[in-house]
Amino acid sequence: MPVLTLLTDPTRPTLTLADVEEAGRGRGAGPPRWLSPGAAVEVDVEPGTGLDEQLRDDWQRRGVDLVLQPDGERRRPVLLADMDSTMIEQECIDELAAYAGVGDLVAAITARAMDGALDFEAALRERVALLRDLPIHVVDTVLRERITLTPGGPALVATTRAHGGYAALVSGGFTVFTEVLAGRLGFDEHRANTLEVHDGRLTGQVVPPVVGREAKVAALREISARAGLTPGDVLAVGDGANDVPMLRLAGTGVALHAKPSVARAVDVRVQHGDLTALLYLQGYADAQIVRPS
């Protein structure tokens, strides 16, 4: 049976049985299965059930993510995650730019690139050029003082791996960040762009090839094939326009806190929940989630 999941901000668990009954009305909904009291609940619905955009928007305004998934296995053995504004709450390049004195300019370019208004590779090169002569040690300062993990991220990775899964961090950002953050979060591998450095300072160049949307798709195909799996066995998550092809190819592709143009490009959207929402979407209940201390 298809599964309808209701999710909300787990720090404000306001879902009620009345919400579940309303969402399932006219859809042949079965009894609710509470995955997290007040924060995540799922019900089986009859085949052929659909969700129109107006209905999703109505629930969004009420602070609820409504997700419909088809019949079949929902647990994915491979997790493929974006980094900036996904596994962490910041855009690393914007934080570097703040130290270079071009923060507002770079942040404006980042926002347009993530919304799909600019070519990703061209926008990346333009922004990196503005970082020329920035001391590389600033990366350590940014990691220490400005980068915070997205809530639920450690639990998502730990639970995936505890159930025999494989987790890869694939970012359009930079290896100087993914190397540290992949280790901190427990990812099995990481891929990102390499900043060119000379005499301890950024040159304003990216070492080719650029990790953009095509590279993310290639990573998804390669990692799943290496494990003897298919793209349908992958749970992918991201927030930017460069993530959309990856999200569409994955068995479950989640647009997390994404801009409207990105969210509407994929079926599964999480605007109010945190990264534990990706576990609830796979049917994990709180008692099954591994939460690193």
CB 245 within 8 A of CB 213: yes
Q: Which residue has the tokens 């998804």?
A: 220
Query: Which one of 84, 94, 243, 274 is the catalytic residue?
Result: 84
Report the C-alpha gap between 212 and 173 in whole angstroms: 9
Query: Which one of 19, 82, 94, 233 is the catalytic residue?
Result: 82
Q: Which residue has the tokens 């090169």?
A: 125
Question: Among positive and negative, which fits the CA dihedral 181, 182, 184, 185?
Answer: positive
CB 229 within 8 A of CB 77: yes
Q: Bridge partners of 185?
A: none
Cis status, amide bond into 135, omega within 30 of 0: no
Report the C-alpha gap between 53 and 245 in whole angstroms: 21
Buried b (16+ CB within 10 A) or exposed e, 25-63: eebebeebeebbeebbbbbbbeeebebeeeebeebeeee
Q: Bridge partners of 4?
A: 43, 68
CA 163 to chain centre: 20
Find the Cα–Cα–Cα–Cα dihedral 164, 177, 241, 131, rounded to 10°. Answer: -170
Q: Respond yes or no: is residue 84 known to be catalytic.
A: yes
Stretch (H or E) spanning 207: strand 201-207
Q: Please give the structure tokens belonging to residue 58.
A: 């109505």
Q: Respond yes or no: is residue 82 known to be catalytic.
A: yes
CB 94 within 8 A of CB 110: yes
What single-letter amino acid sits at 134?
A: L
Report the C-alpha gap between 154 and 13 in whole angstroms: 20
Residue positions annotated with a catalytic role: 82, 84
